[in-house]
Amino acid sequence: MKNILIINGPNLNMLGQREPEKYGSLSLDEIKTYTEKKCKDEALLTWWQSNSESEIIEKLHELCNSSYEGLIINPAAFSHTSIAILDALKILKIPIIEVHLTNVYRREPFRHQMLTAQASSIIMSGLGKDSYYFAVKALLK
Ligand code: DQA
């Protein structure tokens, strides 16, 4: 069983209510239940969400001295703006997968700048509610 942390950034706590035509109708909690059911015998998943850039950075610092073996992160809007989160991700020694529910390259040009993705081994974009499940699968490989 791999011990994996899943970090979700700003506004992802509003999934279900937030632009459902783009992000789907499931809440983050429902996506969590859906994902955990699909990989219950393979990985131990810890879910954490914050709307604050500084809290995300502090969480990433904590990860330096933790037993997590992999990180899945959806930095949400911070993906396009945060050099500070990129720098914090670069400190980590565990594998990182960045996920986006939507295909950001089919969206507004300002979403095409992907700053934090430079720290990840893999980036997945556009898999909707299956994003986290496929990211877990990729981490296990
Ligand atoms: C997102 C894409 C980002 O551009 C956006 O700001 C989000 C969600 C996604 O999962 O598709 O908040 O990361």
pLDDT digits (tens, 9 = 90+) for 122-135: 999 999 999 999 99
Q: pLDDT-based confidence at 1, cuts 50/70/90?
A: confident
**Which atom of ligand 1 lies closest to the CA of 102?**
11
- Residue 100 annotated in active site: yes
Ligand 1 pocket check: which of 74, 115, 116 to mutate, most ligand atoms within 8 Å of Cβ?
74
Question: What is the C-alpha to C-alpha distance for residues 127 and 123, in angstroms, rounded to an integer?
Answer: 11
Per-residue buried b or exposed e for 19-48, using 16+ beta carbons within 10 Å of the residue's own CB: eeeebbebbbeebbeebbeebeeebebebe
Cβ count near 134 (within 10 Å): 17
Question: What is the C-alpha to C-alpha distance for residues 40 and 92, in angstroms, rounded to an integer?
Answer: 26
Q: What's the mean per-residue pLDDT of the chain?
A: 97
pLDDT digits (tens, 9 = 90+) for 21-71: 999 999 999 999 999 999 988 999 999 999 999 999 999 999 999 999 999
Q: What is the mean pLDDT of residues 107-130?
A: 98
- Residue 68 annotated in active site: no
